[in-house]
Amino acid sequence: YTAKLDKIEPSFTVAASDNKASGAWHGANFTVTASGAGNISGNTYYSGTASNPTTQGATQSVNSNTSVNGTVYYFKVCSGTGICKTSSYTAKLDKTKPSCEFSGENSTWTNNIITVNAKCNDSLSGCTDATASKSWQFSSGTAGAQNLSYTIIDKAGNSNTCSKTVNVYVDKTGPSTPTSGAIGNVSGSNTTGTIQTVAGGSTDSGIGQITYKYLVTTTSTQPANTDSRFSTNRNFTRSCGTTYYA
């Protein structure tokens, strides 16, 4: 009489083809396989989405054109003596690239620091902490279109490089006001003015608009305010041979 006895519960492992742990996000289709049981009485593998699978097979394929979020696959291994053990694997699949969103641009001049923000959006696996957000600061000397680029990655490994041209207008530099010398032609009659002093009220708004006001002497009669270097159309005033204009 030959006696055979196997009372050992099957011991086996369940692993994904890309070696990611149960519950981790995957960025591509993968398989999950149970293996390693070595009962002397032999082993039979079962797998499926039922908690007590009855379909023989050691491998389950996780395939989707879009996503799988939390599907649980069960693996049961039974020895030749009918002793069974069950394990499971939670599958998560995200094959969609994340998207990004920009905010903070301005289209008019300011003398404040402008911060343009970008953030990563991903409704499945979520964005990695390292690429969840990014910001750029513009403090001075900036005008018009700025080309920004931002690479984002989700927790499944999908990446996307977002590029955007944003408008930023920042001017924090004060004017350098000339205090002497010839202004040049200040009227249609080619009258020449010479700066005597800077009149009170010369301003720099800090937003790209500089207004200079001067007291000048002229070589002839009161000049007209037609010179292109003076952006205002306000009238001149004249007193004691001196012309005040802005």
Could you tell me the CA-to-CA distances from 242 to 68, 182, 194 in Å, in that order?
Answer: 83, 15, 10
In sequence order, the 6+-apart residues with CB closer than 8 A to the CB of 1 are none
State mean pLDDT over 95-102.
94
Pairwise pLDDT comparison (37 vs 226), residue with the higher score: 37
pLDDT at 193 over 70: no
74 within 8 A of 86, measured Cβ to Cβ: yes
pLDDT at 186 over 80: no
168 within 8 A of 144, measured Cβ to Cβ: yes
pTM of the predicted model as reported, rounded to 2 decimal places: 0.67
Reported confidence tier of residue 176, pLDDT bands at 50, 70, 90 = low
pLDDT of residue 232: 41
In sequence order, the 6+-apart residues with CB closer than 8 A to the CB of 135 are 104, 115, 116, 117, 118
pLDDT at 195 over 80: no
155 within 8 A of 93, measured Cβ to Cβ: no
CB atoms within 10 A of CB 101: 12
CA angle 27, 31, 37 (to 5 degrees): 140
Reported confidence tier of residue 132, pLDDT bands at 50, 70, 90 = very high
Pairwise pLDDT comparison (205 vs 74), residue with the higher score: 74
- Euclidean distance between CA atoms 175 and 184, whole angstroms: 20
The mean predicted confidence, pLDDT, of the chain is: 78
Bridge partners for 211 per DSSP: 203
State mean pLDDT over 40-61.
96
- Residue 122, token pair as written in the block: 């991903």
State mean pLDDT over 21-38.
96
In sequence order, the 6+-apart residues with CB closer than 8 A to the CB of 240 are none
Q: Where are the alpha helices (DSSP H) in 42-97?
A: none
- Euclidean distance between CA atoms 62 and 53, whole angstroms: 17
Q: How far is CA 128 from the centre of its chain?
A: 12
- Residue 61, token pair as written in the block: 């394929």
**Which residue type, as a one-letter code, is found at position 111?**
N
pLDDT at 79 over 90: yes
